[in-house]
Structure 1
């Protein structure tokens, strides 16, 4: 059986996780599968075109892991989804895209993705049989962000590779199929990967009110100024419509609630890590957690209109663990 058929069969055969006694709404398992995990399809000339992604988890479900211990939070969240083994297969290549765009120290500033959470996820992926796990971002604060954030050290100790993208040969031009964002120089590492996991932090952003998963995808493109020159929110939506992450994990242990994205700012602790396939539903939940309505965030609304995901969290099953 080839890899495409295997993944397709797996998605079709997934059973809904029982939520009895959890006090949450159950809407069932969508089990949607759209071909192979990650990677990009190509035309006859071998050019990169639209990636094909697969949702091996229930796209109508968000898992909220509560607490502060990084290893426990990652393990509980992935287990409630069905296990990392459903997503990461033996020999697969994984790209994790966190947020380390600002040269700030980890933890106390609550501005970059928690490095210990990333390390825990890297270990989970390698234990599942991944041949490599890359942790990448294109930090606008410069290459020092990777080191100062503590992410490079934590990821490499866990067995992964952590590096910045930003050089010309880190990107290749793709046709996104968008109206505003028609073509973009996009990360080669993501296009070549089997699995993409987006791992942003929940925090304030002066231009968009809040930044989470959808906006975090901007760290995979070379010319972000184009987004600002045209329609920032529509470009964000069209980018995620082009390449939806296979899983999004939101670091909502703590984050700044003002003076973002650079900070320093007022720090609020939510002590949650949110897991989900649907990037719109996850950002909608994050907006509510932040004290905003999802409809107040233009890029969330734009992504929902494009069919990227569900903005109404009442239609999403939320399981707390």
Structure 2
């Protein structure tokens, strides 16, 4: 496989498809030395079943592990940390990774429990989890999804699972895009297997899966994300971290240079332009909010919209670390605890936000 190539396979036999893609990509040759430690980085953002569209299907990782073992590799590890507000240990269970690790005798590193070190990532010092140092060849296994703050999330942003929770909060304080781009100069992903089976194209946490039954392989994370942008009707420039990462030398953001090959039977997929986030985001005043907090707020607002209640909400909702110590009328999350009305939690759940706002609307209509 060349760095400008993206291989795509359609179907429902996910483990088999993965192994076929890896063989076609000559992954064993790309890794080389059979004694290398191969790290596998899925997306276990939260304890939600992969069928909900937020987390990596374990069948794909099983296919990777089987392929590696069949090609003489014995040193493998899986490493990941869920988003702030959820425990990786819960996602490890719910998403099927405990049984996966037991079946294939592979160690799982929970990066939420990991120590960290500071690394200069092209002029920006960032904290990275110690377990990353153990990896000689990193296989990134992101889910192609929409994101309520960055529009898309796939290869580049998936590296956030390899930084401690304190740094994740810091990323949001810095505005996400710049630190995501710089992080990818500090953590090099050698190979990418994209879970494009049923990702939620609106929300990072899942809940609105769009079944596409595709798996991709690639080597350039910037090109992968540029292609995701195209799939979801965005220009790469509309997702700043994609362009920034390209400028930092992480990869190529020019999708016209991609050699995209459909292996086997092709399947047409028309992805409608996503509007859910745009429709409700104008009601939010967001300053440095964490993904989990904001990620639970937007679907809660969408639920209110579906019930015809959203239009009755006349007060802006404040959310984010930028509201710590400040006062106001209506807030979401612990950072807005000094507001007259606020939904407590770090983060509060989608249901808690929905119920609180529904009650607030009833009292103020």
Q: TM-score normalised by the shorter chain: which range applies?
A: 0.7 to 0.9
Distance in structure 2 (CA, Å) of the matches to 1:217 and 1:203: 15
Match of 1:155 in 2: 101
SS at match of 1:92: coil
Report if aligned partners of 1:89, 1:128 keep a CA contact under 8 Å in 2: no
Distance in structure 2 (CA, Å) of the matches to 1:269 and 1:202: 11
Q: Which of the numbers 213, 222, 232 marks the counterpart of 1:290?
A: 232
Report if aligned partners of 2:119, 2:186 keep a CA contact under 8 Å in 1: no
Report if aligned partners of 2:50, 2:95 keep a CA contact under 8 Å in 1: yes
Deviation at 1:167, TM superposition (A): 2.4
Match of 1:177 in 2: 122
Structure 1 residues 311 and 177 mapped into 2: Cα distance closer, same or farther (>3 Å)? closer
Gaps of 5+ in 1: 1-56
- Aligned pairs for 1:1-321 (under 5 A) are 57-107=1-51, 109-140=52-83, 141-142=86-87, 143-169=89-115, 171-178=116-123, 182-222=124-164, 223-258=167-202, 260-265=203-208, 267-321=209-263
SS at match of 2:149: coil
Distance in structure 2 (CA, Å) of the matches to 1:93 and 1:129: 12
Structure 1 residues 88 and 289 mapped into 2: Cα distance closer, same or farther (>3 Å)? farther
Deviations 1:63-104 (A, max 9, x none): 112222112221221122224343153222111111001111
Distance in structure 2 (CA, Å) of the matches to 1:148 and 1:242: 30
* Higher RCO structure, 1 or 2 (CA under 8 Å, sep 6+): 1
Could you tell which deviates more after superposition, 300-309 or 290-299?
290-299
Structure 1 residues 89 and 211 mapped into 2: Cα distance closer, same or farther (>3 Å)? same
Deviations 1:142-185 (A, max 9, x none): 1201111112212331332224112253x22222233xxx2222
Scaled by the length of structure 2, what TM-score is found? 0.67
Gaps of 5+ in 2: 264-365
Higher gyration radius (CA): 2
Report if aligned partners of 2:7, 2:216 keep a CA contact under 8 Å in 1: yes
Deviations 1:203-243 (A, max 9, x none): 12111111101001011111111111113101101111222
SS at match of 1:308: coil
Match of 1:40 in 2: none
Match of 1:43 in 2: none
- The structure that is helix-richer by fraction is 2
SS at match of 1:255: coil
Deviation at 1:298, TM superposition (A): 1.5
Q: What is the number of equivalent residue pairs in this alignment?
A: 258
Report if aligned partners of 1:152, 1:163 keep a CA contact under 8 Å in 2: no
Distance in structure 2 (CA, Å) of the matches to 1:239 and 1:128: 31
User: What stretches of structure 1 move > 3 A for 4+ residues in a row?
Assistant: none
